[in-house]
Amino acid sequence: MFHKEGYTIIVASLAISAISIVLIDKYIVFPWSSKLMMITILVLLGLILQFFRNPKRHTVLNNNQIIAPVDGKVVVIEEVVENEYFKDKRRQISIFMSPLNVHVTRYPISGKVTFSKYHPGKYLVAWHPKSSTENERTTIVVTNKYVGEILYRQVAGALARRIVNYAIKGEEIIQGTDAGFIKFGSRVDIFVPLDMKITVKLDQVSRGGETVIAELA
């Protein structure tokens, strides 16, 4: 199953790959050279297909828990001052996605979208400390009557050149459902209240829509 954001690229890649293989088979006379070129094309096609995969996830709905919005590795767990929306101290959890990870973004909790804003910016590597405030990004706040307000931020990386955000202000959303897509390496920052219990550790690998990253103490 593939994400809808990849349909155009996948169809184009399949067409280009098929045409390229036919031309190689017809015009390249050295067998070892033609085989190498065909294998290279198929490997590149495989990378594109795996990047846009959209595996089904089994989200256990829970208004007291925050789930990981993306697949990746937890690279930051720290108390910070969130200056864009809250302007106070929050606990930040950041998940880094390599180009090999699933890049679907899922809503970390059910509730109502109360803030959604796009910011143009730089393309620093996603693990750079300033990427959260200087890179291209979107900021989304979901209000849940049990937990309060949760902010998550899609951050573009050095390779990412397009962030897709489906969150619309005023919309009621369901935990674990499709919230967007980030094309190529990037990260997502989640800001939760200080009194929540963090249930992941640094360098832990998360599964979007399934891994619980924080819960009410």
Structure token digits, residue 131: 């990427």
Q: What's the gap between Cα 195 and its chain centre?
A: 26
Output the CA–CA distances (angstroms, integers) from residue 104 to 55, 61, 70, 170, in the order listed: 9, 18, 6, 22
Residues 121, 113: Cα–Cα separation, whole Å: 23
Task: Count CB-CB contacts under 10 A for residue 19.
Answer: 10
Q: What are phi and psi of 211, to 5 degrees?
A: -70, 125
**Residue 128, φ and ψ in degrees, nearest 5:** -65, 135
Length of the chain: 217
Query: Is there a catalytic annotation at residue 34?
Result: no
Q: How far is CA 69 from the centre of its chain?
A: 7
Kindly name the residue from 110, 132, 186, 206 that is annotated as catalytic.
186
Residues with a known catalytic role: 186
